């Protein structure tokens, strides 16, 4: 897809300049039809960002908001798998890529759909990644959405930077962390990047904060003491919640669905619903 590797440079031909301006206009038109844009980020990988993004999308959709999810993780696109739509073909309609619908009608677009083999690493340069992400905003038929969740790769690299700088406005950033200090140092960097871009609606989700024994109900903080609340107030961001480590996450993925969809009665599902409510109340 994104074979053009040029950045914004002085050495563009008039045709290239025209194409860039046209894309920018499409991007504004498309993203203007999305009421709320929420970026999910983290300092480190493997903290549960994609899990949180997918379940929040499910929670918003359940609340009756028309929801889409944009997976801009080029090197590890997990969102299709989390909704059981892996390997689905993206149709082109009127020059636009049509998102794939999840079981419950969430519009899904992921680099995973466009990359042919999942077992080959892809090597993309920064400008190519940014170009691909802009295409996801300009050339995907999102239609009218209430909420668009953007699942980012970890850290402060090209992808999250492009997302935050290119979106006409970002309504909320959800920062995901786990209770250990290494992960938190990376989160501080990430929060600072977001603040530098003048986005101040940032919420913190502390994932894998505890485990509840299914037999005796005892709660153990297996990765260390939960400090999410304190940590959020130190960074002057909003603490959203601490989430348990549960088997339902893996089970729901195996069942091609999310926890919010498959384990409605679970503590984790209820927490995702209440986080979506909090985000709506505090940020949107």
Ligand X SMILES: Nc1ncnc2c1ncn2[C@@H]1O[C@H](COP(=O)(O)OP(=O)(O)O)[C@@H](O)[C@H]1O
Least separation in angstroms between residue 131's CB and ligand X is: 23
Q: Which of 245, 262, 270, 278 binds ligand X (CB under 6 A)?
A: 245
Least separation in angstroms between residue 204's CB and Mg ion is: 17
Within a 10 A sphere around the Cβ of 253, how many other Cβ atoms?
A: 19
Q: Are strands 145-151 and 238-244 parallel, antiparallel or unpaired?
A: unpaired
Applying CB under 5 A, the site for Mg ion has a residue count of 3
243 binds, among Mg ion, ligand X, none (CB under 5 to 8 A by kind): ligand X
Give just the sign of the alpha carbon dihedral 124, 125, 126, 128: negative
Structure tokens at 262: 């498959």
Contact 112, 86 (CB under 8 A): yes
Least separation in angstroms between residue 47's CB and ligand X is: 4
177 binds Mg ion (CB under 5 A): no
Least separation in angstroms between residue 122's CB and ligand X is: 17
50 binds Mg ion (CB under 5 A): yes
Q: Which of 110, 135, 207, 257 binds ligand X (CB under 6 A)?
A: 207
Structure tokens at 81: 């798998």
**53, 58, 69, 272, 283 from 253: Cα distances, Å:** 14, 13, 17, 16, 29
List of residues contacting ligand X (CB under 6 A): 42, 45-51, 78, 207-208, 243, 245-246, 249-250, 253
């Amino acid at each position: 897809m994104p074979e053009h590797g040029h950045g914004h440079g002085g050495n563009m031909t008039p045709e290239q300049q025209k194409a860039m301006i046209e894309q920018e206009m499409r991007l504004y038109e498309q993203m203007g039809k999305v009421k709320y844009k929420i970026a999910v980020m983290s300092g480190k990988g493997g903290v549960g960002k994609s899990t949180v993004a997918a379940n929040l999308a499910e929670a918003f959709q359940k609340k009756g908001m028309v929801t889409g999810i944009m997976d801009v993780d080029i090197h590890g696109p997990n969102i299709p798998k989390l909704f059981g739509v892996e390997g689905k073909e993206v149709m082109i309609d009127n020059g636009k890529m049509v998102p794939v619908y999840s079981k419950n009608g969430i519009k899904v677009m992921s680099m995973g759909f466009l990359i042919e083999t999942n077992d080959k690493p892809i090597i993309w340069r920064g400008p190519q990644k940014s170009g691909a992400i802009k295409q996801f905003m300009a050339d995907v038929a999102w239609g009218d959405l209430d909420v668009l969740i953007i699942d980012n790769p970890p850290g402060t690299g090209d992808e999250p930077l492009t997302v935050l700088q290119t979106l006409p406005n970002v309504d909320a950033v959800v920062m995901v962390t786990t209770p250990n200090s290494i992960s938190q140092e990376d989160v501080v960097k990430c929060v600072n990047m977001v603040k530098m871009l003048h986005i101040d609606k940032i919420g913190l989700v502390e994932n894998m904060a505890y485990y509840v024994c299914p037999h005796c109900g005892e709660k153990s903080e297996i990765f260390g003491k939960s400090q999410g609340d304190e940590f959020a107030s130190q960074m002057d961001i909003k603490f959203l919640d601490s989430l348990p480590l549960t088997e339902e996450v893996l089970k729901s993925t195996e069942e091609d669905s999310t926890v919010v969809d498959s384990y409605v009665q679970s503590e984790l599902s209820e927490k995702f619903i209440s986080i979506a409510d909090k985000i709506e109340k505090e940020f949107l």
